[in-house]
Structure 1
Amino acid sequence: MKLSYLAFVSVALVSTSVFAEVAVIVHPSNANAIDANAIAKIYTGKMKSFDDGSKIIAIAQDSGNSITDEFNEKALKKSSSQLKAYWSKLVFTGKGTPPKEVSNDAEVISLVASNPNTIGFISSSATDGTVKVIQTF
């Protein structure tokens, strides 16, 4: 009985980490309208400025990070390898620069909280009062 209960709890914990919800965050003062379509454009280099004209600084987490994989699949509809190939082509042809990568949620929150032009994504469980969630996936 105890063994089957432990197995169930283990599977449940693994399942919730695999299906983590991704929160897209901006500085609390950012009042620009940013929907899922705009987020996809930002993270594929097709949108470089917010509606108010300010330059967008996109922050991503390191490739291979589970939250990055979730974001790429849910928000961008691409696998991490597809996105890497996409950016490699743009960089090679001089047509784009991928978002700056940092290693974890805390770094993204710190960067976004300190600059109104910054956008990033984190695990929704990591959100705090220093940033504003604009979309979840």
Structure 2
Amino acid sequence: MATLKYSRLLGTSLLCGILAGAPATAADLVVIVSARNPVATLRADQVAAIFLGQSVRFPDGTEAVPFDLRVGAPTRDEFYARVTNKTPALLKAHWSKLVFTGRGQPPSELADSAAVRRKVADDPEAIGYIERSALDASVRAVLVVQ
């Protein structure tokens, strides 16, 4: 009996420790544009089209230049899972096909949310995604990823 109680306590402690160190959740992600970009909001399907190379323009007709986080970043995987319903393997297959057929190139990759925020802030045509905690006045959130 004491062993069972100890096992439950240990299991609960481990679970709490895992959750405390868990990466950002979908509610912590936002899609951003430069504060100088006139786009106020975007739908998830519009963002997905831009990041999957299916659209190169914002809804107002201006060019959209997407910037990604590096391959393997948990925030990147979460973004694509929530916005495009693609796993890293499916995303790689998607871009392999487009590149091979000459129909597109994947977004440029940046090291972290701070780098994405700086790049997007400097370019009104840029779009990216970052952790909500990395937001500042230089960029505007156009979609909260849920």
TM tier relative to shorter chain: 0.7 to 0.9
5 Å matches for 1:46-125?
Answer: 46-125=54-133
The answer to whether 1:22 aligns with 2:29 is yes
Q: Which runs of 5+ in 2 are unaligned?
A: 1-8
TM-score, normalization by structure 2? 0.83
Counterpart pick for 2:53 among 45, 52, 57 = 45
Please state whether the residue corresponding to 2:59 is helix, strand or coil. coil
The normalised TM-score by structure 1 is 0.88
Larger Rg: 2
Structure-1 residue corresponding to 2:17 = 10
Give the distance between the partners of 1:8 and 1:66, measured in 2 at CA: 19
Per-residue CA deviations over 1:42-92 (Å, capped at 9, x if unaligned) read 011111112332211100001100000000100111001101110011001
Counterpart of 1:29, as a letter, is R
1:126 is displaced (CA, Å) by: 1.4
The residue type paired with residue 83 of structure 1 is L
Aligned length: 134
What CA RMSD, in Å, does the superposition of the two structures yield over aligned residues?
A: 1.9
Residue equivalent to 2:136: 128
Q: Which runs of 5+ in 1 are unaligned?
A: none
